[in-house]
Amino acid sequence: MFFPEEMIEVELIVPEENAVAVTNMLAEEGVFHQVDAGYVKSNEEAGPAVAASDWQQRASAFAALERRLLTIMDVLGVEEGVPLPDSDAITDVEAVRPDVERLEKQVQDVTGDLEAEQKRREQLQSYIQQLEPIKQVEVPVNLLRHPSYVFSVLGIIPEDHLTRLETSLTHIPFVLVTLLKDNRRAVVVLAGMQQHADILDRAARSAYLNPLNLPDEYQGTPQQIIDALQAEIAQMHQHAVEREGAISELRKQHQEQLQTLLWRVRTGRLLSDALARVGRLRYTCLIVGWVPTARLDALTQQLKQVTDDVLIETTPVSRSHAGQDVPVALKSPGILGAFRVLVTIYGRPRYEEIDPTIFIAVTFPLLFGAMFGDVGHGLLLALLGGLLASRKVRALRGLAELGPIIIICGLVAAVFGLLYGSVFGVEGILPALWFRPLDNIMSILTTTIGAGVVLLSLGFILGIINACVARDWGALIVGHNGIAGATLYWSLLGIAVQLILGKQVVPIPVLIVLAALAGVAVMFSEVLQRLIDGHRPLIEGGVVTYVVQAVFEMADTLISILSNTLSYVRVGAFAVAHAGLSAVFFILAEMISPAHGVGYWIVVVLGNVFIIGFEGLIVGIQTLRLEYYEFFSKFFKGGGLQYAPLVSLSKRGSK
């Protein structure tokens, strides 16, 4: 529960002929996180073995077939469907290719070259668009395109480029007339003197003004050419209507076959990809990956059922020597899983790191509840969480993952509401089982600082445990969050508490000596860590620079210690603000309707909605901040590799 799931490295050596069956089985089981072993090759020429590059080629071939199938399905309007239960076995590419080609041909026979036809239609439309603004000109187009005495261009330009084109020609006389603007493009005529033809031409080209390039076959006035073009488009449209019936027929005939083919091809691609990452020895194959240790026995049994000739080598990996290539599977049972999202937003734990999910699952609702303590608001928030989790409101489905967190936070806030004696901001109905924050401001503030001290101390302890597990002795002994950092913190805390309370449990001189020793260790932690870890040189860039840097870092550490602790004051401050804000709304309501009429209740209801929505959000963010900055920064680095097992498509579909 405290660490990511224990993983074990598994090497499977299987006869070449069983490689496909074993890979199939691994995908079926869905627990094997495969690692690329394609770099392993036999020194001798492999006999009948299929090289990894062949599987790579097959994967590419499957991918190409998949794209072709998707194109056919797109043209026919066929949905992808879902993977069939029996579609998990790998198929030979050549067994599927003829079917795909036959279907492709059938579709092409009916549709013709749709792409070419579409382009042709767009081109004709473009001619019409360019001719439209000058259709009333009763002059043959040929004369407009080749004037004798002026330079002119009629064409289309992206609308965004118009102003720039004008700017680029400010130093010569010219005329730029926009005839039509449509779909972020403009039909324009650019004209100027022949002696400036070079400049005008360069400007037009660089502004992407594409001149009208009507083929010579179109003769006559603009209106005559437009009529001819429209007739051609109408003819093409008639062909399209006739074709639609045939497409519909094809869809009915081949829908099921296309869907089956698609999922067979996809399975082929998935498994070929996996097989391309298998290492090739002379007669055997090497499949390497990671499995959760708890699942190893079950997987071994399944493997033995596929073939008795499989050799399974396992390498347990200790957390202290785990590299970053060990995948991290987080196991957070039940409701704890809901809080995992708050951890993974910050980072995925490394294999050797404590998974902070359980700590955030406990501390997050407590901090939230303490800041938002109110029976009524808490229960309403819990109801809202329930609504989110139920996924009944389509618009809120994206937030469903947060539902359980909001439910728990709402319930804890309700419990704190009982402790504070607050319901919907009214503080006279329920007795306070603990105390009312607004009447005991100093008590709530000191209590929350105390809670902060406990949490920060826990952070230091977890940091020390992490350093121990990772055997990072330097960080453990003299690190800012190691023993030295914790000793400095606790010593300074001890001095402060004893001075404030006027009591002495541990002699202050002893604490001063401890703080000084720990302070020196923290100040020179970089050098000391390099010394302990055996890294050289101890100091880079000069002793003086280093000492100056160390002094500043020490100052920074002391400020951090103080600010991290005082940061928890906000918990108390928000508890007070919550009660204060509620009181403000009651005062406002009283001012609007002293006789407690409709206006009074409208303000009260709106005020409560505001508190639940706005203040709830702010409190949530503040809680997250306390967790991430103050708590996590003491022990959690993150950056672990996600556990992504090979899973068959049908299994994915069923999930």
Partner 1 sequence: MGGGDVSEYAAIHARVRAMYAAMLSSETWRDLCGASDLTSLIDLLKETAYGPYIAEVEDSRLTPRRTAYQIRKHLAAAFDAIVQLTPAPTRSLVNRLCRRYEVDNLKALLRGIENNTPWEQVNFVLFPLGAFTELPGQEMVEAESVAAAVDLLQGTSYYDTLSHAMKRYAEEQSLFPLEVALDLAYWRDLWRNVGQLSNASRMPGRRVVGSQLDANNLLWAIRYRVNHRLSEEEIINYTLPFGYRVRDEDIRAIAAGADIASIVSRIYPEMGDVTSLLREPQSGIPELEVQLQRYNASVYHNAFLGYPFHIGIPAAYLLLAEMEIQDLTLLLEAKSAQLPLERFQPHLLVGCISEQR
Ramachandran category for residue 46: left, alpha or beta (phi over 0 → left; psi -120 to 50 → alpha):
beta
Residue 541 interacting with partner 1 (CB under 8 A): yes
Residue 171 interacting with partner 1 (CB under 8 A): yes
The binder of partner 1 chosen from 434, 435, 473, 628 (CB under 8 A): 628
Site size toward partner 1 (CB under 8 A) is: 51
The binder of partner 1 chosen from 640, 643, 648, 650 (CB under 8 A): 640
Place of tokens 């298998």: 278
Smallest distance, partner 1 to C-beta of residue 459, A: 15
Distance CA 241, CA 330 (A): 56
Q: Name which of 156 and 604 has its Cβ closer to partner 1.
A: 156
Q: Please, what is the Cα angle at 186 between 184 and 192, to 5 degrees?
A: 150
Q: Name which of 434 and 546 has its Cβ closer to partner 1.
A: 546
Smallest distance, partner 1 to C-beta of residue 315, A: 16
Distance CA 460, CA 112 (A): 72
Q: Name which of 74 and 297 has its Cβ closer to partner 1.
A: 74
Place of tokens 């399974």: 312
* CA-to-CA dists, residue 108 to 72, 105, 240, angstroms: 9, 5, 13
Residue 108 interacting with partner 1 (CB under 8 A): no
Distance CA 629, CA 566 (A): 13
Distance CA 34, CA 12 (A): 11
Distance CA 491, CA 516 (A): 9
Please enumerate in sequence order all residues whose Cβ is within 8 A of that of 137, keeping only pairs 6 or more positions apart, or say none.
Answer: 144, 221, 222
Smallest distance, partner 1 to C-beta of residue 256, A: 26
The binder of partner 1 chosen from 168, 446, 457, 560 (CB under 8 A): 168
Q: Name which of 449 and 641 has its Cβ closer to partner 1.
A: 641
Region of 16-24, 94-102, 248-256, 625-633 interacting with partner 1 (CB under 8 A): 625-633
Residue 500 interacting with partner 1 (CB under 8 A): no
* CA-to-CA dists, residue 502 to 364, 496, 498, 508, 566, angstroms: 34, 10, 6, 11, 21
Residue 70 interacting with partner 1 (CB under 8 A): no
Smallest distance, partner 1 to C-beta of residue 272, A: 15
Farthest-apart Cα atoms in the chain, separation: 108
The binder of partner 1 chosen from 1, 2, 51, 67 (CB under 8 A): 67
Residue 156 interacting with partner 1 (CB under 8 A): yes
Asked if residues 275 and 27 have their Cβ atoms less than 8 Å apart, the reply is no
Q: Name which of 34 and 440 has its Cβ closer to partner 1.
A: 34
Does the N-terminal peptide bond of residue 15 adopt cis geometry, omega within 30 degrees of 0?
no
Residue 393 interacting with partner 1 (CB under 8 A): no
Q: Are strands 327-328 and 641-642 parallel, antiparallel or unpaired?
A: parallel
Position 452, amino acid: G
Q: Give the per-residue contact string, 286-315, with partner 1 (x = CB under 8 A; - = no).
A: ------------------------------
Q: Name which of 166 and 590 has its Cβ closer to partner 1.
A: 166
The binder of partner 1 chosen from 241, 345, 505, 595 (CB under 8 A): 345
The binder of partner 1 chosen from 191, 558, 624, 647 (CB under 8 A): 624
Q: Give the per-residue contact string, 594-623, with partner 1 (x = CB under 8 A; - = no).
A: --------------------x--xx--x--
Q: Name which of 140 and 158 has its Cβ closer to partner 1.
A: 158
For residue 433, the number of C-alpha atoms closer than 13 Å in the C-beta half-sphere is 10
The binder of partner 1 chosen from 629, 647, 651, 653 (CB under 8 A): 629
Helices 93-111, 222-276: inter-axial angle, 10-degree rounding: 170
Q: Name which of 596 and 625 has its Cβ closer to partner 1.
A: 625
Place of tokens 């260790």: 521
Nearest alpha carbon to residue 178 among 146, 133, 214, 118: 133
Q: Give the per-residue contact string, 202-221, with partner 1 (x = CB under 8 A; - = no).
A: xx-xxxx-x-----------
DSSP letter (8 states) at residue 542: -
Residues 516-535 that bind partner 1 (CB under 8 A): 526
Distance CA 105, CA 107 (A): 5
Position 2, amino acid: F
Smallest distance, partner 1 to C-beta of residue 196, A: 10
Q: Name which of 156 and 187 has its Cβ closer to partner 1.
A: 156
Q: Name which of 637 and 651 has its Cβ closer to partner 1.
A: 637
Region of 87-95, 214-222, 322-330, 389-397 interacting with partner 1 (CB under 8 A): 322-330
Region of 237-245, 323-331, 360-368, 376-384 interacting with partner 1 (CB under 8 A): 323-331
Place of tokens 């000191």: 446
Residue 158 interacting with partner 1 (CB under 8 A): yes
Place of tokens 């597990």: 469
Residue 39 interacting with partner 1 (CB under 8 A): yes
Smallest distance, partner 1 to C-beta of residue 583, A: 19
Question: Distance between terminal CA atoms of the chain?
Answer: 24
Could you tell me where the beta strands, DSSP code E, fall in 40-184?
150-158, 174-182
- Can you tell me whether residue 190 is helix, strand or coil? strand
Q: Which residues pair with 181 in a beta bridge?
A: 186
Hey, how many other C-beta atoms are within 10 angstroms of the C-beta on 36? 13
Residues that bind partner 1 in the complex, under the rule CB under 8 A: 35-37, 39, 63-64, 67, 115, 119, 156, 158, 160-161, 163-165, 167-169, 171, 184-185, 199, 202-203, 205-208, 210, 323-325, 345-346, 348, 526, 540-541, 614, 617-618, 621, 624-625, 628-629, 639-642
